[in-house]
């Protein structure tokens, strides 16, 4: 049987006739959140029977949910083949009310999704890589993470969420399936999530960055940089052997970006490793001519790590120096650390881990 969520609406309309049935199916799944084909009441009985015999649309099973003190939620999902992935719901801002108690702004959410089971990048600071790479996720397995979490948390259909491809795996090592998932997310008869609300985070696969840009999907780009010289970056991120910093910067300069947006550079700061003002000066030079925003991230400790969390004063000095040189820079407070839901803490779980 095939996962119905793996199909774009156009692909589905080539299989299901007449073609308008594809739109109806999309609406039942993504807008009305039905749980079975029998609930798709405006479809003929013979079509529902055909769908039941040939398709499914529930590729994920929730195994575990953990809630952080800051409201973040981490989900452990099991796939059809028994492999597991993790996804995270991040509450960014709560509902806002005026002095009369009238709602003036809805809560804002970001969903961090995985693109692979495991990861082959082998970054020394990341827990995800410890289990190695298992396989790519299909488009539908990527899409369902967002669909499930929205439905589980009763986030209304019309309430848009931000998606960051920063979970398990390197998204650009799964570019074809990632691109199809983005198209499914974007479809107005599906979840209708604008590409400008979707950020692809990469460890810096230069050739794949160029390919992503050539697809003109309209998504935002985030680069996991973490070091300003090749020697250190290669120690932290072995991928730098194939894609050095110069090649990444060249690819970023070619990437099409909305004039109102910036390319995001993620910089994971580790005490005594990459948090000096000298590093900050080099970073300013690297970003010259790029419309960039730098996110400074506290290293999130995990078992077995040799790195330490940086001192807050060093984070602030680093940020202040970048800002003094007209580089947009913020310190990002990691969410979900207490439930191991922050950057670099997601992993595939063994059966013994699932309890």
Distances (CA, A) of 75 to 63, 193, 326: 8, 21, 38
Structure-token pair, residue 86: 């993790």
Structure-token pair, residue 175: 């570019």
Distances (CA, A) of 232 to 202, 229, 268, 293, 305: 18, 6, 13, 22, 17
Distance CA 212, CA 123 (A): 22
Question: Which domain covers residue 40, as residue numbers?
Answer: 2-56
User: Cis bond leading into 18, ω under 30°?
Assistant: yes
Q: What is the mean pLDDT of residues 236-251?
A: 96
Do 10 and 102 lie in one domain? The reply is no
DSSP 239: G
CATH code for the domain of 32: 1.10.150.530
Active site residue 112: no
State the catalytic residue, choosing from 112, 141, 343, 348: 343
CATH code for the domain of 211: 3.20.20.70
Do 45 and 74 lie in one domain? The reply is no
Q: ∠ at Cα 110 (26, 250), nearest 5°?
A: 100
Q: Is residue 126 part of an annotated ligand binding site?
A: yes
Q: Domain boundary residue among 56, 73, 101?
A: 56
CB 333 within 8 A of CB 299: no
Q: Is residue 329 part of an annotated ligand binding site?
A: no
Q: Is residue 221 part of an annotated ligand binding site?
A: no
Q: pLDDT for 311-340, tens place per residue?
A: 999 999 999 999 999 999 999 876 656 655
Do 19 and 78 lie in one domain? The reply is no
Q: What is the mean pLDDT of residues 285-295?
A: 95
Do 348 and 321 lie in one domain? The reply is yes
Q: pLDDT for 104-142, tens place per residue?
A: 667 899 999 999 999 999 888 887 767 789 999 999 999
Do 50 and 142 lie in one domain? The reply is no
Q: pLDDT for 256-270, tens place per residue?
A: 987 778 999 999 999
Rounded to 5, what percent of the chain is helix, strand, coil? 35, 20, 40
Q: pLDDT for 43-54, tens place per residue?
A: 999 999 999 999
Do 297 and 345 lie in one domain? The reply is yes
State the catalytic residue, choosing from 86, 141, 266, 348: 86
Q: What is the pLDDT of residue 355?
A: 41
Q: Domain boundary residue among 20, 38, 56?
A: 56
Distances (CA, A) of 64 to 119, 170, 349: 21, 23, 11
Active site residue 144: no
Task: Please state, rounded to an integer, the average pLDDT across all residues of the chain.
Answer: 91
The answer on pLDDT for 353 being more than 70 is: no
CB 307 within 8 A of CB 268: no
Do 102 and 29 lie in one domain? The reply is no
Do 66 and 194 lie in one domain? The reply is yes
Q: Is residue 295 part of an annotated ligand binding site?
A: no
Do 141 and 46 lie in one domain? The reply is no
Q: Which residues pair with 66 in a beta bridge?
A: 74
Counting other chains too, the contacts that 229-233 makes at CB distance below 8 Å and 24 or more residues apart are 229/282, 232/273, 232/274
Do 153 and 269 lie in one domain? The reply is yes
Distance CA 12, CA 223 (A): 34
Q: Is residue 169 part of an annotated ligand binding site?
A: yes
Distance CA 312, CA 48 (A): 58
How many separate domains does the chain show? 2
Distance CA 129, CA 119 (A): 5
């Amino acid at each position: 049987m095939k996962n119905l969520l793996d199909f774009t609406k156009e692909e589905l309309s080539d299989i299901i006739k007449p073609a308008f049935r594809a739109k109806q199916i999309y609406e039942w799944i993504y807008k009305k959140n039905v749980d079975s084909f029998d609930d798709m009441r405006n479809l003929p009985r013979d079509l529902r029977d055909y769908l039941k015999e040939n398709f499914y649309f529930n590729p994920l099973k929730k195994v575990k949910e953990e809630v952080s003190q800051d409201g973040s939620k981490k989900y452990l999902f099991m796939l059809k083949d028994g492999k597991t992935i993790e996804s995270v719901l991040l509450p960014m801002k709560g509902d806002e009310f005026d002095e009369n108690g009238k709602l003036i702004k809805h809560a804002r959410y970001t969903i961090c999704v995985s693109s692979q089971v495991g990861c082959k990048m082998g970054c020394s600071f990341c827990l995800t890589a410890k289990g190695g790479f298992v396989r790519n996720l299909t488009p539908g397995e990527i899409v369902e993470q967002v669909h499930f979490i929205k439905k589980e948390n009763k986030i209304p259909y019309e309430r848009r969420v931000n998606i960051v491809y920063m979970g398990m795996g390197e998204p650009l090592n799964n570019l074809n399936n990632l691109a199809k998932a983005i198209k499914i997310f974007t479809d107005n008869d599906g979840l209708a999530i604008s590409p400008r609300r979707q950020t692809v985070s990469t460890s810096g696969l230069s050739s794949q960055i160029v390919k992503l840009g050539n697809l003109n999907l309209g998504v935002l780009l985030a680069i996991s940089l973490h070091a300003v010289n090749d020697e250190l970056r290669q120690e932290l991120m072995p991928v730098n052997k194939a894609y050095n910093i110069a090649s990444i910067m060249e690819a970023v300069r070619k990437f099409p970006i909305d004039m109102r947006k910036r390319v995001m550079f993620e910089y994971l700061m580790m005490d005594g490793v990459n948090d000096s003002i000298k590093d900050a000066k080099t970073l300013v030079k690297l970003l010259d001519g790029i419309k960039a925003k730098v996110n400074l991230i506290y290293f999130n400790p995990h078992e077995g790590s040799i790195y330490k969390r940086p001192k807050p004063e060093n984070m602030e000095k680093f940020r202040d120096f970048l800002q003094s040189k007209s580089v947009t820079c913020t310190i990002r407070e990691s969410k979900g650390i207490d439930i191991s839901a922050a950057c670099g803490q997601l992993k595939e779980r063994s059966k013994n881990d699932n309890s």
